[in-house]
Structure 1
């Protein structure tokens, strides 16, 4: 039995990850910005000091996964500074705060899993801010994996394609938009929270302790096999 801290556990993928970990008999400590029936710690994950306090409150852990994020789908020239700052804070600063706290508190090693995006690995129109932030997560994963390897701390990330969650619901609100989105994925369907959660659980598992500095694409082929789609 292991102990895991799940940051932004109220997200659809975070909740699916919690379910998988608990079904395997692990202890899960959850955080979210708002209180709820399955929230152990209230947390603004972009606040460095608050994230450190969450690690302290969680106690000894074997791994942590951060699912915090947001989405703005606009080209750069239509993106305001406030929108840009919000995306970077939610998608990159939270990841950095998680790694920072893990480096300070997980002195005996363990696993950190971050969330990037297929948008960071493939050119998708109107994803400029989110692609920039999630590409930062890729760079953070690679650098931090090197920084903390001697500490026994593994740093990896998943990079999902379009996954059916509350955050992406507007992208597939009509049959036409859904078909276009499905057609961008070589496998021909959108992802589910469970698709991504299984990858996160794999990377958290101490049985896979020879894996670090990796970005696992869980994207139905979007980043490497997708058809050429304009729009």
Structure 2
């Protein structure tokens, strides 16, 4: 058990994104052996070289390709201790303006990839371990123009809770992290505009947007043995947006 804890083996899907790359660097710094999966081959190879990690290019919307990444991890290291799905998308449109293909893509990238991750983990982690999925604060708080992504991310929560129950006897822990707005390349359309950025900052009770490190820290903890008594939970890492309704800052002073 000591050797298992000292050098855990983790699979990170969506490893080249803002949160995925920060998480991968944090895990590598802690001594983990990583198997990184992403669609952008050039960025994936660069990150893997930086972290001395194994990389496998994939389209995570295809379950068979997700399964191949997990199988490759077992082939290389003999086991998998944890897996994270950081694949996702960010589209802001009201329902009546959302095209059918945009809806389908949003569901596939956010919910479909999460389901594929759980399925692959169930097939390739017979000794148990930790699986972390990414939901969103939009699945828990009504935010305008988030219908498609909110539906997909709410599905991730339902998936995590149900799968945590199903695979509990196998020792497979499954949890979700639900971020607020995080500053990543995917959200640059919002954060690049001073007006929308300021509005987003004010929306979060703590008065700032999230950083990739905020989310990576929570995921890393859920992967670790210290979180071994936690499963079927949804952790809001959102600057208080999902639960707090503070007084105006001027009045609070």
Tell me the TM-score normalized by structure 2.
0.88
Normalized per residue, the structure richer in helix is: 2
Q: Which residue of 1 aligns with 2:92?
A: 73
Larger Rg: 2
2:34 aligned with 1:28? yes
2:56 to 29, 41, 46: 41
2:120 to 78, 101, 125: 101
Deviation at 1:207, TM superposition (A): 2.1
1:128 to 147, 154, 175: 147
1:87 to 95, 98, 106: 106
Q: How does 1:212-231 map to 2 (within 5 A)?
A: 212-226=231-245
Deviation at 1:19, TM superposition (A): 0.9
List gaps (5 residues or longer) in structure 2: 1-6, 49-54, 248-253
Distance, in Å, in 2 between the alignment partners of 1:72 and 1:106 is: 33
Distance, in Å, in 2 between the alignment partners of 1:38 and 1:189 is: 28
Q: How does 1:182-201 map to 2 (within 5 A)?
A: 182-201=201-220
Distance, in Å, in 1 between the alignment partners of 2:40 and 2:194 is: 32
Aligned residue pairs: how many?
228
Which has the larger displacement, 162-171 or 33-42?
33-42
**Conserved in 2, the CA contact under 8 Å of 1:184 and 1:226?**
no
**Conserved in 2, the CA contact under 8 Å of 1:162 and 1:190?**
yes
List gaps (5 residues or longer) in structure 1: none
Secondary structure of 2:20's match?
Answer: helix
Deviation at 1:227, TM superposition (A): 6.3
Q: Which residue of 2 aligns with 1:202?
A: 221
Distance, in Å, in 1 between the alignment partners of 2:88 and 2:194 is: 26
**Conserved in 2, the CA contact under 8 Å of 1:185 and 1:227?**
no
Distance, in Å, in 1 between the alignment partners of 2:68 and 2:12 is: 14
Deviation at 1:166, TM superposition (A): 0.4
Deviation at 1:208, TM superposition (A): 1.2
Q: How does 1:133-148 map to 2 (within 5 A)?
A: 133-148=152-167
**Conserved in 1, the CA contact under 8 Å of 2:21 and 2:47?**
no
Runs of 4+ that moved beyond 6 A: none
**Conserved in 2, the CA contact under 8 Å of 1:35 and 1:42?**
yes
Distance, in Å, in 1 between the alignment partners of 2:245 and 2:209 is: 13
Pairwise CA RMSD = 1.1
1:12 to 18, 28, 33: 18
Deviation at 1:53, TM superposition (A): 1.0
Deviation at 1:135, TM superposition (A): 0.1
Distance, in Å, in 1 between the alignment partners of 2:186 and 2:243 is: 23
